[in-house]
Each structure stands twice: as C-alpha cells, then as structure tokens.
C-alpha cells in the first residue's frame, strides 16, 4: 500500500471530524446581526407578501444578491486566512527537498 492509499483511507474519519467540529454560534450571530443592520439601513427586505395574504415570496433579487455577497465575503476571508496563515507543520508531506543550483562557468 503506497502513501496515497493510506491518506485516502483516513479521509472518511477526517470528514467525520470536520462535520462534528463545533461552530461558534456567537460569532455567527454577530455576523448575521451586522448583515441584518446593513439590510435595515438600506431598506432591503427578504421578500414580498403574497397578494392573497397566505404567505410571502422570499425571492427578492436585492436580498438574494446581498446575501450571496455576504456569504462570499465570509468564505473569502476564511479561505485567505487558511491559505496564508496555515501552520508550518502542515505545509507539505515529507521533508522539503534541497535544490542545488549549478554555477555557470562563464
């Protein structure tokens, strides 16, 4: 069994661990409150009441665009942090190879 096969066997456990990972609900609440305040400040609502009064349509394009931008902003910030702030011990498998440059005899 090669190294890649060993890594693939671990992926099920890794996925389970990630799914079980707790998410800070207070942080999510704070982010949502900031988003909702921006929506209030700009008069943007999630939807419109149905004409017959039986409910509402939540497909308001302004809300959908703002929500998508909000989620992309959070995802982008997290991805950049994961990309540039990863611990050095997680850089790569094995030891970094040393490369010797040849010196030209010019």
Judge whether 95 lies within some domain: no
Give Rg (Cα) of the chain: 24
Length of the chain: 106
Judge whether 102 lies within some domain: no
Name the DSSP letter for residue 57: E
| Pairwise CA distance, residues 94 & 66, whole Å | 44
Cα–Cα–Cα angle for 97, 89, 82, rounded to 5 degrees: 110
Count the domains in the chain: 1
pTM passes above 0.95:
no
Judge whether 60 lies within some domain: yes
pLDDT in tens, the chain (106 residues): 666 666 667 888 889 999 999 999 999 999 999 999 999 999 999 988 888 888 888 878 999 999 999 999 999 999 999 999 889 888 888 888 888 777 776 5
Judge whether 92 lies within some domain: no
Range of the domain at 73: 8-49+56-85
**Cβ-contact 28, 78 below 8 angstroms:** no
Judge whether 67 lies within some domain: yes
């Amino acid at each position: 069994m090669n190294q890649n096969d060993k890594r693939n066997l671990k992926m099920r456990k890794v996925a389970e661990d990630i799914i079980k990972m707790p998410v800070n609900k207070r942080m999510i609440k704070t982010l949502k409150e900031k988003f909702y305040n921006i929506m209030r400040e700009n008069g943007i609502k999630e939807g419109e009441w149905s004409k017959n009064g039986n409910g509402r349509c939540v497909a308001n394009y302004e809300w959908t665009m703002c929500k998508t931008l909000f989620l992309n902003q959070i995802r982008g910030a997290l991805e950049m942090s994961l990309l540039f702030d990863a611990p050095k011990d997680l850089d790569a498998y094995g030891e970094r190879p040393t490369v010797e440059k040849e010196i030209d005899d010019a």
